[in-house]
Structure 1
């Protein structure tokens, strides 16, 4: 049994020795001009879709993907579909749950239809003009790993967009989601007394905002935004030469960005080992997740699965007693659901539709799976 397990481990890690390098999509600049809908058709026929930008790293990669000039902007895959208003958290992947909201009495009141950003004061929320300056709270995964503290409390006051840019540049994002807010209150129970001279009220910007229901062409639900000041004003989004986004009428003609997805959801149900063979025969490998950006990208694909979980390229070896990625990547980043069962020789890793990982016995489960290309 030990010899068989060792042989399987060697086969798995030697079958493909290189990873996808953390780049789960590639951008392509198309220089001839089309309307937004024509650009969408072109990208879907020749690539995956019009460009989706999921985070600050993608924004910079898109900007660096060409030396061509596009002074009037270039289409990306974002379009306003409805006038409905929704609340979103700044950090991509965080879902707003109305039942968990903590509005102060009478809030949100959206005075003048202009109050679309949210501050926290003594634990409760209220909406305000995004142009007002307050102190703010950043969340950072790295801080937690180093010191056990997950948050940065600013000394300076900024507008909401300025605070968001500061947090994304220096940390992870503005504090987002009820769990982060609860963790913050646990780590900083006296935060309401941190304003100079114990001033009351003592508000802080948090990462909650209201916006029209824009969507990505490929159906992704990433909440990342990089709008220029005063935007959006029209129905279709374009990127500008500085990497920020503007908008224009969708029937205007412009160059555009497409992307090729480096992962694919297979809507067939197989045991883990058969899924591994399928990916290696038809694509590259079962997908590996090495950082938070990978996690968010793969999670979007898992949402479209027909099974409650999807197989990942994550495997346990009882011979050596550790988990490993089949691409030979070390398991540093983790997103296990808690609590988890113990390890078993026939266990592999799967992701549920919410993005958390679970340990499942291979032969007991036939699931959809995600391949890297």
Structure 2
């Protein structure tokens, strides 16, 4: 009876708040929204809101424009294009409903460095509407933000802003991709690919990403596009890649390529795409053993660098050369149920968890009926889950002591410590005592540290004083993904 009274009281308070605001407004990502934009209705996919013929989602975590666009593409979407006052009003209301303010946020507009007055949308629709604030654009940047003094503004693309993605029906004719002037070099014929941002050279397509990432995250980003960090097989390809970088940033910016060596045999180098390491362009005196990952544009050539440095990077996709070969983390793994074996000559798994064996895809480790991967780069919980979904996976659920022990050993083997890391657990803001897994399996096991959960957060981390803890979801932590057969309904 007390619960029903509380719910009724909450409804009255919410209704009173809405009436005071002068318009109906539902909770973020949930109920129907009404504004001057027209009728909005929630779609069946969590977080996406349908307006007219498209679905929209607001992401509150700030990112540079390029990374924001990359995140949208993870959802088969783009940073939002806008084609009418109604759409513009809807997007502003969507932002307000999430953060309670007119927060400046990225949209999908960008201009050409060659012709700054020409603006485009990332979804390749026609730029047939604008809502520029008076005096804008003023040439201060190449990317489009909304909610600048009530309208749009051109801003430097490296600013971290929240953003709005949209997917569905695209409008207008096809147009040139970002950075659409063709690179010119002695490398050979280049032609723009029809997919935004990719440049074709010989039998492969290449894309430069200006936002700095550690080598592992850079490779992960490339894989989101069915690509790898670029391999290089000739002076022509090497010259092309250097020119591609120059055309984007106007300098010989040091950037990641796909080369890496083995900690066991440092003189042996590999490419992430599995092709033969049949060409090199090492700067004199390199590699000198200072790192395990390959950067270009170090004093004109290549260098071995610590993999944790944040650098821009070049991805490539298409025809791979040479015979297939083992990828990092590819030796078979066995736990206490079998013999220990090295991963990439380095990692050993020896938990009482059971039999582990390598999956055919680099980095995934099979345990029982599922595959697991640890990501060392810290992300907020929502971004970590998004990264897992890029691999058709979820943040890991746990259903037994064996699985719990395996996951803790997996983390230890990567970072050499019991690093607190995200798992897939989350609770309801309405009923905090109720916990769920992102893979929709039954929450039939727990390993809470004594005194936890204590209501300090809504997302589940492991390795908190040996067990689990509820933590603020906006903390940056490494994380474990899992995919395959799940338990329960």
| Smaller-chain TM-score bracket | 0.3 to 0.5
Structure with bigger helix share is 1
Could you say which structure has the larger radius of gyration? Answer: 2
TM-score scaled to structure 1, two decimals? 0.36
